[in-house]
Amino acid sequence: MKHNTQETLQGQEMDSTIKRAMRKPFSDSKIIERANLLRDNDLYFFFRAIEETAASTVTVKGQKQIMIGSNNYLGLTHHPLVKEAAIKAIEKYGTGCTGSRFLNGNLNIHDELDVKLAEYLGHEKAIVFSTGMQANLGALSAICGPKDLMLFDSENHASIIDASRLAIGTTFKYKHNDMSSLEELLESNVSRFNRVIIVADGVFSMTGDILRLPEIVALAKKYGAYVYVDDAHGLGVMGHQGRGTMNHFDVTKDVDFNMGTFSKSFASIGGVISGSADAIDYVRHSARSFMFSASMPPAAVATVSACIDVVTSDDSILANLWSNVEFMRKGFQELGFYTYGSQTPIIPLFVGDDMKAVKMTKYLESKGVFATPVLPPAVPKGEALIRTSYMASHDRADLTKVLEVFAEAKKVFEIPSHLH
C-alpha cells in the first residue's frame, strides 16, 4: 500500500511537471508575432514616446512633428486659462482624491461639474466618471438588466462592445447607420424585452460619420425604445458651442442617455453620463465602475470646467476648428484621396493594404507629420487607412505642409482615389 501511494504521488508530480512544461507562452500569440514583424522591419508605430507638446506640434526622438493624429479638437491642452485652473486645483485639493465619489473621494468641485455639465448639455442631471470607458461600462451594464436588450451600431466604439459583454442583458448589432436594419430588429424584439436601448456613437471615431440621430429618435418613439448616444467625438465639436450631436440635431430632449469624454475636446481625462434626474440617480447608485473607482483628480475636474468656460465664451475656437477642417477636407479631395465623405474633424484617408498604410505612416513621420494608421480589425479587411484629425490650434502654414507631404506620399505609395 505504501509503495502504491509513493508511485501515485510521483505520478502526480510528473503530470504537474508535464502540464507546466506545456504552458503556452504569450510570445506565440498572433498579435505579438505581428508586432515583432513590424519591429524587425522598423515599422512599429505603437507607443511612440512624445517628449514635448505644443499647441499642435509634438517632439518625437528630437524631431518636431505636426500632430494630425490627436483628438485634441479644440486645442485646449495648452490654453493659459485651462492650465491655470488645473494648477490652482492642485494647490487647493492636492493631486488626487484616493477614493471613490461614492464614499470618501467626492469633492465639492465634482458636484459643481455635474451641475455645470447638465446645464451645458441640456439634460436634467449629469454625473462624471474617472474615464470615458468607465462611463460606458458602468452606465450600460447598470441600465441593461437580464430582461433588457441593447441594439447597437456595428461600428460602435470598443467600450460599448465591452459594456455589452459586461451587461446581463441581450445584445444585437444592426448594420452601420442603417435604419432599415435597426427597424427590423426593433420590430421583431421590442415585445420580448422589458427595455430596449438603442446605443450608438454620435460621431464614429474611425470614419468620422455622423449618427443619423433624428431617424434613431423617430424609431425609438415608434417602438418605445430608449436612446443612448456615445458622443465622445461629438462633445465640444458638434452643435452650438460644442454641446454635442444631440444639440446639433436639436433632439436633446429625445435622447435618454448622453455619454461624453473629456480626453478629446476637453483636454483632460474622464467621462460624463447625462439624462433625466431619475435615470442618472439610478446610475449613481448602480454603476460599479463609478462606485468602485477612485474619482477624477482635482486638476482634471478643474480642467474640464475651464474648457466649458472657454468654449462657451470664445466663438473663435470652434470657428478656427471648422475652418481648418474645411481647408483639409477640400485639400485632400483635390489631391484625390478617398475620405469616406467625412463631415467632422476626423478625416480618414483610404489606403487599402495594411503594410502600405504602415510604411506610409513611417514616411510621413520622416517628413515631420505625426499620423496614425488604422488596421483590421478596427476597419474591414482591405480597408486600412490613415486616420487624420484636426484642431482649432493648427495654423494654416502647418496644414499646407501636411497637404504637400501627403501629395508626395500618394505618388510614392500609389494610393487609390476610390474605395475598392
**pLDDT tens per residue across span 257-274:** 999 999 999 999 999 999
Instruction: Read off the pTM.
Output: 0.91
pLDDT at 15 over 80: no
Q: 3-state class of 389 per DSSP?
A: strand
264 belongs to the catalytic site: yes
The residue from 123, 233, 248, 410 that is catalytic is 233
**What is the overall mean pLDDT for the chain?**
93
- With cut-offs at 50, 70 and 90, classify the pLDDT of residue 8: low
**Inter-CA distances, 375 with 106, 114, 263, 414, Å:** 40, 37, 22, 18
The residue from 123, 125, 264, 359 that is catalytic is 264
Residue with C-alpha cell 485634441? 72
b or e along 252-277 (b: 16 or more beta carbons within 10 Å of the residue's beta carbon)? bebbbbbbbbbbbbbbbbbbbbbbee
pLDDT at 242 over 90: yes
- With cut-offs at 50, 70 and 90, classify the pLDDT of residue 1: low
For range 161-169, the mean pLDDT? 92
Question: DSSP characters for 352-383?
Answer: ESHHHHHHHHHHHHHTTEE-EEE-TTSS-TT-
Q: What is the pLDDT of residue 43?
A: 84
Rounded CA-CA distance 255/217 in Å is 7
Q: 3-state class of 174 per DSSP?
A: strand
CATH of domain 78-313: 3.40.640.10
Give domain limits for the chain: 30-67+315-412, 78-313
418 belongs to the catalytic site: no
Q: What is the pLDDT of residue 29?
A: 85
The residue from 164, 205, 295, 393 that is catalytic is 205
Alpha helices in 144-285 (DSSP H): 158-166, 179-189, 213-223, 245-248, 277-284
233 belongs to the catalytic site: yes
- With cut-offs at 50, 70 and 90, classify the pLDDT of residue 121: very high
Q: What is the pLDDT of residue 4?
A: 64
Mean pLDDT lowest among 168-172, 369-373, 378-382: 378-382
- With cut-offs at 50, 70 and 90, classify the pLDDT of residue 19: low
For range 211-221, the mean pLDDT? 98
Q: Is 261 left (phi over 0), alpha (psi -120 to 50) or beta?
A: beta
CATH of domain 30-67+315-412: 3.90.1150.10
